[in-house]
Amino acid sequence: MPDEITIKTISNTIRDIVDFPKPGILFKDITPVLLNPDTFKLAVDALAEPCLAERPDIILGIDARGFIFGAAIAYHLGIGFVPIRKKGKLPYKTIEQSYELEYGENIVAIHEDAIKPGNKVFIVDDLLATGGTAHAAAILVEKLGGKITCISFLVELGFLEGRKKLGDLPIHSVVKY
């Protein structure tokens, strides 16, 4: 598990943006974490470390900031990376899963050959809010026969109770608000 100094360093680097993307929202901006090579490394290590004991076969990154962290972890471990994208963004045959947003619905997709039955899958994203996107990603992994070994988020907005949507899946968050 990341130590308190690492968590505090990352937390202090995340920037709050008031009223973005709309009035009343306090947006947690992780771009300063990415800009600084030291905090970026701390963040990648903190996301990965609690999930490595299960020795994943594949890292799955959720569109779009999950790509940044997930690809870095996959590279470090020498394993494959799979993107979960919004509908219509992947070029090959896909399977899709819809999920609810605060005001509507969205759809994510994965290539139908991205995960083999029995693959141990480690899901990475930057933010756990309501849990809808991560839940949809988990359903896609399971449809393809993968086994989710861990889901890791850089930031968790606990007051939105996204963990509840993910049930008994193994969840790790670096910074919690």
> Rounded to whole angstroms, how far apart are CA atoms 110 and 145?
13
Task: Identify residue 38 by its one-letter amino acid code.
Answer: D
Of 49, 102, 142, 163, the active-site residue reads 102
Of 49, 54, 55, 65, the active-site residue reads 65
User: Long-range contact list for 160-166, CB < 8 A, 24+ apart?
Assistant: 160/129, 160/130, 160/131, 161/130, 161/131, 162/128, 162/129, 162/130, 162/131, 162/132, 162/134, 163/128, 163/131, 164/131, 165/130, 165/131, 165/132, 165/134, 165/135, 166/131, 166/134, 166/135, 166/138
Is 65 among the residues known to form the active site? yes
Is 85 among the residues known to form the active site? no
Task: Report the catalytic residues.
Answer: 65, 102
